[in-house]
Amino acid sequence: DTGVSQNPRHKITKRGQNVTFRCDPISEHNRLYWYRQTLGQGPEFLTYFQNEAQLEKSRLLSDRFSAERPKGSFSTLEIQRTEQGDSAMYLCASSLAGQDRVTYNYGYTFGSGTRLTVV
Amino acid sequence: GENVEQHPSTLSVQEGDSAVIKCTYSDSASNYFPWYKQELGKRPQLIIDIRSNVGEKKDQRIAVTLNKTAKHFSLHITETQPEDSAVYFCAASPLGGSNYKLTFGKGTLLTVNP
């Protein structure tokens, strides 16, 4: 499979519970991004990694959110003490950053997302 | 940080007509502008992109134009078909260095009526 894979596709959890999502990027991609999308809105940036290093975190990413990419391959996004406002689609994307400015594609490849519902 | 505004929020056209979606951005350092198509319940998919050293790019029925001075870019779809119906998102990014983050507009729901 050459796409970005996200698991689970759907997650329903009770308020206050912890949840963890997984993203498997395209294998040769060294950059991995997490975005959140709510109904009627564009994806909002949460954080991104180059290899295993987390290079930027949005202010949207409160201290209840943590993301890891331990070996520079798959990534996990954990939300602790979930709140109803956390209900959204969590999208993962990957891309390849390199030195070839002529031929490589800057575009992201998105996964299908994990839809989180906090009840 | 970057702010991307997208208009209109909804657009309805008849099959065969053209559709135009416009975006403005705020950060003059942005130099990469992709467009994504998202069908209901599916992932956003890149349909076309443009870099700031190019004013226009075309791929079959889809074209994107960029005016860096005015900080706006547009998506043009000609000869629309019902399968073009989807939400379209524009985005902007200041490529280079360590920042490849995309900032997205809020999307345009395009409906193509048969």
User: Residue A28's pLDDT is what?
Assistant: 85
Measured CA to CA, the distance from residue A97 to residue A85 in angstroms comes to 33
Residues of B in contact with A109 (CB under 8 A): 46
Task: Give the mutation candidate from B30, B33, B43, B46 for the A interface (greatest A CB count, under 10 A).
Answer: B43
Measured CA to CA, the distance from residue A111 to residue B66 in angstroms comes to 28
**DSSP secondary structure letters along A6-55:** EE-SEEEE-TT--EEEEEE--TT--EEEEEEE-TTS--EEEEEEETTEEE
User: Residue A102's pLDDT is what?
Assistant: 43
Nearest to B77 by CA among B17, B33, B14: B17
Q: How confident is the model at residue A71 (pLDDT cuts 50, 70, 90)?
A: confident
User: Residue B58's pLDDT is what?
Assistant: 94
3-state secondary structure of B8: coil
CA distance A16 to chain B (A): 27
C-beta neighbour count of A12 within 10 angstroms: 12
In terms of pLDDT, which residue wins out, B97 or A112? A112
Strands (E) located in B2-85: 4-7, 10-14, 19-25, 32-38, 45-51, 56-59, 62-67, 72-77
Would you give the distance in Å from CA A73 to the centre of its chain? 13
Measured CA to CA, the distance from residue B45 to residue A111 in angstroms comes to 9
Q: What is the mean pLDDT of residues A61-80?
A: 93
User: Residue B101's pLDDT is what?
Assistant: 83
Q: What confidence tens digit (pLDDT) does each residue in A3-53 have?
A: 999 999 999 999 999 999 999 999 888 889 999 999 889 999 999 998 899
* Residue B19 and residue B102 in contact, taking contact as beta carbons nearer than 8 Å: no
User: Residue A98's pLDDT is what?
Assistant: 62
Interface membership of A113 toward B (CB under 8 Å) = yes
Read off the tokens for B51.
């870099």
CB nearest to A110's CB, from B43, B93, B107: B43
Q: What is the mean pLDDT of residues A91-95?
A: 93
Please give chain B's pLDDT, 114 residues, in tens. 889 999 999 999 999 999 999 999 999 989 889 999 999 888 999 999 998 887 899 999 999 999 999 999 999 999 999 999 999 999 998 866 555 788 999 999 999 999
Measured CA to CA, the distance from residue B85 to residue B38 in angstroms comes to 9
Q: How confident is the model at residue A105 (pLDDT cuts 50, 70, 90)?
A: low
Residues of B in contact with A42 (CB under 8 A): 4, 6, 89, 91, 104-107
CA distance A101 to chain B (A): 10
A100 pLDDT exceeds 80? no
**DSSP 8-state secondary structure symbol assigned to residue B93:** B
Q: How confident is the model at residue A101 (pLDDT cuts 50, 70, 90)?
A: very low
